[in-house]
Amino acid sequence: MSLRSRVKEYSYKLFYKPYYKIMSRLLIKKRVIDHNRDSPVPGQPVYIIEADRASHYQLINNSPDISHTPGPVFSLQQPEQFHQHLCDLIHAQQDNPLLDYHLIPVGIYHGQMPRRENNWIRLLFSENWLKNSPFNHAMQLLVNGRQTLVRFSPPLRLKPLLDNSLTAPTQADKTTQILQSYFHSSRKAMLGPDLSHRRTLLEEVLGSVEIRKAIKEQALLTGESEQHLEQQCRNNLNRIAANFSPVTARMFHRVLKMVWRRLYNNIRVINAEALQQKNLHQQLVYLPCHRSHLDYLLLSYMLFEHGMMLPHIAAGENLNIPIIGPLLRKGGAIFMRRSFQNDPLYAKSFKAYMQIMSEKGSSLEYFIEGGRSRTGRLLPPKTGLLSMTIENYLKNPEQQISLVPVWISYDRLVESNSYQQELAGEHKRKESLGSLFSSWHILREKYGEASLAFGEPIPLTGANLNRFADQNHTGVKEQTINLADEPSKAQSKAVTTALAHKVMQGINQACIVNSSAVIATALLARPNEIHNHKGLNRQLVTLAKLLPSLPTPPLAMPSSEPSEWLDHCVKIGILDEPSGDLISITARQHGELAMYRNNIQHLLIIPGMIILLIQRLSSPMTLSVSRLVALLYPFLKGELFLSWSIEQINDLVKQNLIQLQQNKLITKQGTRWALAENETCFTLIRTTEPTLLRYYICLAILNRYHTMSKSDLLESCLNLAEQSHSLFGFSSKEYADKKVFTTFIELQCQLGMFKQQEDQISFNGRGNIDSLLKQASKILQPPLVEFIGEKLARDQTF
């Protein structure tokens, strides 16, 4: 052992080790992410760390709050010793095949966040890409020790890496390269790309070929000087670009931690650890559903909690208000207009900025629905930003990009009251500093549980894009995309539309069921009746068993028991205190409950339709039920973003029938199905029928008038829907949702059932129209069908 090593060892034993516990308590506050917690390492673990620091060895070996299987700890920063250790392990593994060494990389980071120029002392001693001196090591612990992240990565088995044809030193070199590459990827995934000063970045965007070309074209078109147009682009970019500050991000994290404790009993996160591994090797584009302004904050907070790179977030210009706007910009917000029309330079500036951010490997986040859903359903996707993401990939196909659908839901929404006012016809309140201060009262209330789940990532690859081009959701065949050539507008539109629907399906497949959603489903089946506590609880138990057993189950159910859900909803203010054993809901509560029920409507629509058909058909056999589900499925798939294909409907129906029978909701009498005596059957029917009624209203109106302007058709649908649904025993603006009818009309134009010439809508041939109307009149409630027929026969203006 060299003199230097001996001095280091004795200094460690005399001065450091005895006082480690005291020092760690004062200087170090750590978060631990252990990817091996749920699946212990089967063999003999060997822990690998980057830095040769005494504090890092002690963090692994002597921390009482870090539980793991004991094993030796080696550092990559001691190359000669590490090489010798690896050679010894390789020899031992080859001599004794029963040994099973697992190399476990352990990342230890003090002060996680991307670097940025011109920042102060915390950033000076935060994690970076440079090799630190002993002084810097000490300062890191002193300044950032209480922001320490310890990450145990999945193990790397040594045995499969061995090649008996190579010498042990050669194999040790190869293994070292693998580990170094892994640590580099892990550090990049956490720190993010090296962010230059904002002004330098914007000048880089201004100097891009696309911007220079756009300025020249605009100058020729309008006669304005290029200098003036360049300044216009610079102003646009200053309004658009984020000004990310790690200090602000850390401040947000601390403030949000206190806010979440005030608002929520718990925040559930699913699939974060699986996503961390993908984050090492590719750019991630997060595409969450949008239910609340808190969605922005919740997703970023949870990514920070799990040690992942914070995304740059595309936000509407309406949030760029005094004080709040600059803070959001420092947290990574990219502000954008709602529309780029009539300003080509703005559009080019935004595209060029997004391309630069993509090339640098920054994570991105944008809400594919465009705005917040007021009804609880997913809104039709807005494809503008997704189209830019695809364009950026096609310009650099070697870059690995994955789209990540993200599900976000809440037991209770903080904006529920304002949403009900907007659905009732009031204008949306403009975001302002005053509206923010008026919202402080929400901190005095509890909102139950918030849930966030990462769906299955969708890689952007040539093969995937061609698959979407060939089999987009409209069924239109497109030519193969050649990555070397610029795709046609038809190809781009087909791919973007199909990919957007795939993302929406991915969001629904990542669904987490909240207790308020199940309660709402049961109560809204009979909104004007008084419910018995015992009967309601029976329904909750049945739904709690049914939902996880469906062919497309949610990722998670509520963490509490069904017997606790009612008390929980009373505590968070969704329901009033029951009067003894009796529960009723008010008109105001009905509107709010409808939002929560609609969160899980996509899960229950097929079983609900099957039960409806079994009740209404004269001979409900499997074949007849499957045939009618297949007839109606394209409408449901388009509105609720269901993932099954038309070819899979028979299997889907059969699997649902099996689960409904096992849950004692239906019985089989010979070849025919029948409903069991179970109140949940009625609940599922009442959850499904209003959706089918909307479709019938639209088809019946167009069948009556043959050709209508789109606006007249939409207005007639909305008025008749509102009147028809009052026959259900309640009146709800949510049922006459303009966006739902607009989506239905546009989808039928894409599917070829409707045709649109200029603004006029008509049937594109009779096709299945007569059959649909005939079958609908059989399966909908006769009073509703008669009411609609009478209204149309009188030729009234709705």
What does the domain layout of the chain look like in residue ranges?
A: 24-191, 199-407+458-509, 515-599, 685-793
- Is 129 a residue whose pLDDT tops 50? no
* Res 521: pLDDT: 96
CB neighbours of residue 133 within 10 Å: 9
Rounded-to-integer distance, Cα 409 and Cα 777, Å: 36
Rounded-to-integer distance, Cα 539 and Cα 561, Å: 13
Rounded-to-integer distance, Cα 412 and Cα 246, Å: 31
* Res 796: pLDDT: 54
- Is 18 a residue whose pLDDT tops 70? no
Can you tell me the mean pLDDT for 472-501?
66
Rounded-to-integer distance, Cα 62 and Cα 30, Å: 13
DSSP code, position 665:
S
254-276 confidence digits (pLDDT tens): 899 999 999 999 999 999 988 88
- Is 407 a residue whose pLDDT tops 60? yes
622-639 confidence digits (pLDDT tens): 999 999 999 999 999 989
* Res 516: pLDDT: 97
Rounded-to-integer distance, Cα 147 and Cα 202, Å: 31
| First CA to last CA distance, the chain | 93
Contacts of residue 201, defined as CB under 8 A and 6 or more positions apart, other chains included, come to 195, 241, 356
- Is 474 a residue whose pLDDT tops 50? no
Of 81 and 61, the one with more pLDDT? 81
Of 214 and 79, the one with more pLDDT? 214
* pTM summary value: 0.81
Three-state DSSP class for residue 325: helix
Residues 655 and 551: beta-carbon distance below 8 Å: yes
Three-state DSSP class for residue 155: coil
* Res 374: pLDDT: 87
Q: How far is CA 163 from CA 90, 384, 645, 796, in A?
A: 10, 50, 46, 83
The position carrying tokens 């170090």 is 28
Residue 356 has φ and ψ, to the nearest 5°, of -60, -45
Question: Which fold does the domain 685-793 belong to in CATH?
Answer: Arc Repressor Mutant, subunit A (1.10.10)
160-185 confidence digits (pLDDT tens): 888 878 888 888 888 888 888 888 77
Rounded-to-integer distance, Cα 135 and Cα 119, Å: 19
The position carrying tokens 């390789």 is 90
* Res 137: pLDDT: 59
- Is 1 a residue whose pLDDT tops 90? no
Can you tell me the mean pLDDT for 454-466?
88
Domain 515-599 and domain 685-793, same fold? Reply is yes
Nearest in space to 500 (alpha carbons), one of 463, 474, 477? 474
Tokens of 177: 């390269």
Neighbour order of strands in the sheet with 707-709: 707-709, 760-763, 754-757
The position carrying tokens 């610079």 is 234
Tokens of 275: 């996503």
Rounded-to-integer distance, Cα 574 and Cα 420, Å: 13
Residue type, 122: R
Residues 788 and 696: beta-carbon distance below 8 Å: yes
Rounded-to-integer distance, Cα 610 and Cα 88, Å: 65
29-56 confidence digits (pLDDT tens): 777 777 776 667 777 889 988 887 777 7
Rounded-to-integer distance, Cα 602 and Cα 377, Å: 9
Pick the CATH number of 515-599 from 1.10.10, 1.10.1760, 1.10.3470, 3.40.50: 1.10.10
What angle do helix axes 20-27 and 54-61 make, rounded to 10 degrees? 90
Residues 149 and 109: beta-carbon distance below 8 Å: yes
293-312 confidence digits (pLDDT tens): 999 999 999 998 888 888 99
Rounded-to-integer distance, Cα 281 and Cα 405, Å: 18
Nearest in space to 375 (alpha carbons), one of 320, 333, 416, 331? 416
The maximal CA–CA distance of the chain, rounded, in angstroms, is 103
Residues 190 and 109: beta-carbon distance below 8 Å: yes
Rounded-to-integer distance, Cα 616 and Cα 620, Å: 8
Share of the chain above pLDDT 90, in %: 42
732-790 confidence digits (pLDDT tens): 666 777 888 888 898 888 888 899 998 899 998 877 788 888 888 889 988 889 899 98
Helix (H) or strand (E) holding 268, with range, is strand 266-270
Can you tell me the mean pLDDT for 180-191?
74
Helices (H), 192-292: 198-206, 209-222, 226-240, 246-263, 272-278
* Res 154: pLDDT: 84
Contacts of residue 416, defined as CB under 8 A and 6 or more positions apart, other chains included, come to 592, 595
Rounded-to-integer distance, Cα 17 and Cα 289, Å: 50
Of 659 and 199, the one with more pLDDT? 659
Work out the pLDDT band at 566, boundaries 50, 70, 90.
Answer: very high
Residues 332 and 304: beta-carbon distance below 8 Å: no
- CA contacts within 13 A on the Cβ side of 525: 22
* Res 22: pLDDT: 58
* Res 79: pLDDT: 84
* Res 554: pLDDT: 97
Can you tell me the mean pLDDT for 51-72?
71
Nearest in space to 75 (alpha carbons), one of 103, 113, 42, 100? 103
Can you tell me the mean pLDDT for 392-399?
87
CATH code of 199-407+458-509, in short, is: 3.40.1130
Tokens of 695: 């479709």
Rounded-to-integer distance, Cα 630 and Cα 647, Å: 9
Mean pLDDT of the chain: 84
Three-state DSSP class for residue 499: helix
Rounded-to-integer distance, Cα 732 and Cα 586, Å: 12
Rounded-to-integer distance, Cα 323 and Cα 320, Å: 9
* Res 21: pLDDT: 55
DSSP code, position 13:
I
CB neighbours of residue 395 within 10 Å: 14
* Res 575: pLDDT: 93
Work out the pLDDT band at 595, boundaries 50, 70, 90.
Answer: very high
What share of residues in the chain are helix, strand, coil (percent, to 5)?
55, 15, 30
Contacts of residue 419, defined as CB under 8 A and 6 or more positions apart, other chains included, come to 374, 413, 592, 595
Residue type, 386: L
Work out the pLDDT band at 581, boundaries 50, 70, 90.
Answer: confident
CB neighbours of residue 671 within 10 Å: 10
Of 436 and 133, the one with more pLDDT? 436
Can you tell me the mean pLDDT for 97-107?
87
* Res 130: pLDDT: 45
Can you tell me the mean pLDDT for 574-581?
89
Tokens of 714: 């939409």
The full DSSP string for 425-467 is: TPPPPPP-HHHHHTTGGGGGS---EEEEEE---EE--HHHHHH
Residue 642 has φ and ψ, to the nearest 5°, of -80, 150
Nearest in space to 307 (alpha carbons), one of 383, 378, 253? 253
Contacts of residue 318, defined as CB under 8 A and 6 or more positions apart, other chains included, come to 430, 431
Can you tell me the mean pLDDT for 448-464?
92
Can you tell me the mean pLDDT for 204-228?
91
* Res 730: pLDDT: 54
Tokens of 625: 């039920």
Rounded-to-integer distance, Cα 181 and Cα 357, Å: 23
Rounded-to-integer distance, Cα 127 and Cα 107, Å: 11
Residue type, 29: K
DSSP code, position 523:
H
Compute the residue count for the chain: 798
Residues 62 and 180: beta-carbon distance below 8 Å: no
